[in-house]
Structure 1
Amino acid sequence: MSRHDDGDSDNRTPVQLPSRIPLMRIRQRALPLALGLFLSVNVLAGQAGFRTVSVPGLPADPEPVPVALFYPTQSPERTIAMGPFTVHAAMGGVPEAQVKGLIVLSHGHGGSELGHASLAEALARDGFLVAALRHPGDNWQDQSLLANGPARYFSARPQQASRVIDALLQDPAWKDRIARDAKGPRVGAVGHSAGGYTVLALAGGRPELQRLATHCSDNRAADPILCSVAPTGEPAVTPSGQLDQAVPALADSRVRAVVALAPLGAVFSARSLASIQIPTLVYEAELDRYLVPRFHAEWIAQNVSGVELHRVSNAWHWAFMDIPAMPISTPDGDIGADPPGFDRPAFLKQLGKELPAYFDKIFELSPG
């Protein structure tokens, strides 16, 4: 889970498969579709546009969801500092008539919708509409969601992301721009840390709260940072006096591929992960101390059939975030810090090539 007041291909090496895990395969997956079943989209824009919207909240949690939209445009980009992060985009630029698809971007615990701006810009320049949401109750300004108990925390995040998908697929400004094919609107999701959990829940993984509590009871010394911040305590009591411990179904069938960056995974059982049937790409930070890979990224990769796993060599947990212009402290040190020898700008540049190519392949699109 990430905290915020919020490439180089040589840094990415495939993980060797343990022979005891026959279901895990490090390979690329595409969804084969017969020619002519969908409208091919080749967006020619080379610029990223930017605007913000506010999505109405859920009936049970009416707080609006702030969303930063990145999208393809012909309008000229400019560089603008926004708090500790920098956006390179055309502010309010005119969107292209059609986008390749919708990608929802989920930040980590205590994070920001702008913490992965460079990745959102790269996807937008490739032709996608990117909706980077600020999770209500779990962002740099407000972390009250944790106080509501683990059931609410782990259910609210995916529900908030689904609410953003609802809104944009119904929005007159965007619904006709988002490309469709024989399977419906093209929708994908990317998430970092707790955002990685979020997109895996959208893909069909179902959190099992007792599993996380047991994990921290058994492995606190080996996974200390996660177990110091994870909501593993007693469930909250609802206004009716009942214990809030049930987690509803969270899968969103509109999401057709996910990318999980240094994800929180210990909350999922092997059975739950095996239920994920859509293309899944997982990135592991080799030296991650916030979410120790063997309990999280590697656990996910061992149990999701057909998963593609990339290990980023010599990387800490924050490698997937843009470097802020000011120090931002976390339980795992400064967000902008990296191990000696790790070139984060080069890695983010490479990631900005790999993820658009991945979604192009999944949706069988030509590069933008």
Structure 2
Amino acid sequence: MKNGEKEKFAGLKKVEVVDDHLGVTFPVFVMYPTRTPEKEEFIGPYSLNVAKDAKPQDDVFPLVVISHGTGGTPLVYRTLARHLVQNGFIVAMPEHPYNNIHDNQLENSVTLLESRPGNITQTIDWFKGDDLFKNNVNFDDISIIGHSMGGYTAIAATGGIPTTLPWETDNQVPEVIDLKVEERIKKVILLAPALGWFRNEGALEKLNLPILMMTGERDEITPYFHAEILLKGVGNTEKIESRTIDDAGHFSFLSPFPKEMKKSSFPPSQDPAGFDRELFHQELESDVLNFLLS
């Protein structure tokens, strides 16, 4: 640390945001720069050095929203979030209602396709109305990171027009989902995105944002054809930076799990043979940060 430079700490606050579409509230983990020293905290099964409920640093920061995968949890992106905070970002990690590790009853439903993008807008709106944070967010510099189903969420929120898959409607007739575009989002990062809902002609023509997309070479859940849907569907591919990560699997983009959680019976903790998740995440953090700062 240079002389005169203050140490950078990450604050953590869990808040509740209203989903007016579903008529419920959902938790959002907010990580943010603070001057309060960190200490080890256990958040769910994970250990993280943070300053819980600390006062935000008096400054204005870009906002990044992270959207988790289906049946997942925002906590599996904790290390990426903390890295961004330490480099001057506020990070919001919503737990999508009825599509998370605790309650996944909306999986494979039209309601989920409608509500997930709305959760992003609701999260951004929460910051606009919160007395603690509203003066700390640069609302002209908002980005979204989406992993797996979070990739659907990111694209649906920023101009993609999704169409249901056969098993998502009772009559199996395709239904176009009408969504409002979240125009406050300026950049998109996709990690092993699920994009099968955007195969119809014209579904991605309105998408015109800088996009960083990373896919796993050995991803069997969202293989490369999902990335191809985006690359073939957008009007301007020059704004897309697409990379395939050698030997990576679908879950390689999740924060490394504690040793006691690394079991063959727990697929999110597993990677293809020979893949070093810890080493990759150093590169991932750097690449994501560089893209957001570019």
Under a length normalisation based on structure 2, what TM-score does the superposition of the two structures give? Answer: 0.89
1:265 has 2:198 as partner: no
Question: Could you say which residue in structure 1 is the equivalent of 2:56?
Answer: 95
**Aligned position for 1:168:** 127
State the distance in 2 between where 1:235 and 1:136 align.
Answer: 25
What are the ranges of 5 or more consecutive residues in structure 2 without an aligned counterpart? none
SS at match of 1:169: helix
Q: Contact 1:45 / 1:127 at 8 angstroms: preserved in 2?
A: no
Distance 1:308 1:253 in 2: 21
Separation of aligned partners in 2, 1:173 and 1:162: 19
Please say if residues 161 and 176 of structure 2, whose CA atoms lie closer than 8 Å, have aligned partners that are also in contact: no
Aligned to 1:107: 68
Paired residues of 1:86 and 1:117 also in contact (CA < 8 A): no
CA distance in 1, matches of 2:11, 2:263: 27
Counterpart-to-counterpart distance in 2, 1:328 and 1:233: 36
Aligned with residue 143 of structure 2, among 159, 176, 188: 188
Query: Within 5 Å, which residues of 2 pair with 1:216-365?
Result: 231-234=167-170, 245=175, 247-269=177-199, 270-294=201-225, 296-304=226-234, 305=236, 306=238, 307-325=240-258, 326=261, 334-361=267-294
Q: Who is 1:10 aligned against?
A: none
SS in 1 for 2:31: strand
Q: Is the 8 A contact 1:107 1:191 kept in 2?
A: yes
Partner of residue 156 from structure 2, selected from 181, 184, 201: 201
Deviation track 1:28-78 (CA, whole Å, cap 9, x = no partner) reads: xxxxxxxxxxxxxxx9662211111011221x3111020000111222223
Preserved CA contact (<8 Å) 2:162 2:176: no
Equivalents in 2 of 1:328, 1:51: separation in Å?
30
Decide whether the 8 Å contact of 1:284 with 1:310 is kept in 2. yes
Aligned to 1:54: 16
* One-letter amino acid matched to 2:116: R
Following TM superposition, by how much is the alpha carbon of 1:278 offset from its aligned partner in structure 2, in angstroms? Answer: 1.1
User: Is contact 2:218-2:248 (8 Å) kept?
Assistant: yes
Asked whether the equivalents of residues 154 and 188 of structure 2 are also in contact (C-alpha less than 8 Å), the reply is: yes
Instruction: Determine what percentage of the aligned residue pairs are the same residue.
Output: 29
Distance 1:341 1:254, change over 3 A: same
For the aligned residue pairs, the C-alpha RMSD in angstroms reads 2.3
Q: CA separation in 2, counterparts of 1:111 and 1:329? A: 18
Q: Which runs of 4+ in 1 moved over 6 A?
A: none
Find the counterpart in structure 2 of residue 86 from structure 1.
Answer: 47
**One-letter identity of the residue aligned with 1:360:** L
Match of 2:38 in 1: 77
Q: How far apart in 2 are the matches of 1:90 and 1:56?
A: 25
Distance 1:334 1:89 in 2: 27
2:99 corresponds to which of 112, 125, 138? 138
Q: Distance in 2 between matches of 1:144 and 1:113?
A: 18
Asked if 1 retains the 8 angstrom alpha-carbon contact of 2:160 and 2:206, the reply is yes
Q: SS at 1:157's partner residue?
A: helix
* 1:344–1:327 Cα change, 3 Å: closer
CA contact 1:99–1:129 (8 Å) conserved in 2: no
Please state how far the C-alpha of 1:280 moved relative to its aligned partner.
Answer: 1.1
- TM-score when normalising by structure 1: 0.72
Counterpart of 1:265, as a letter, is L
Measured in 1, the distance between the counterparts of 2:210 and 2:264 equals 34
Report if aligned partners of 2:264, 2:270 keep a CA contact under 8 Å in 1.
Answer: no
Decide which structure has greater strand share. 2
Greater relative CO, 1 or 2 (CA 8 Å, sep 6+): 1
Distance 1:142 1:309, change over 3 A: same
Q: Does 1:127 align with 2:88?
A: yes
Q: 1:235 to 1:137 in 2, by over 3 A?
A: farther
TM-fit CA distance, 1:246? 5.1
SS of equivalent residue, structure 1 residue 145: coil
Q: Sort the Cα spacing of 1:276 and 1:328 in 2 relative to 1 into closer, same or farther, 3 A.
A: farther
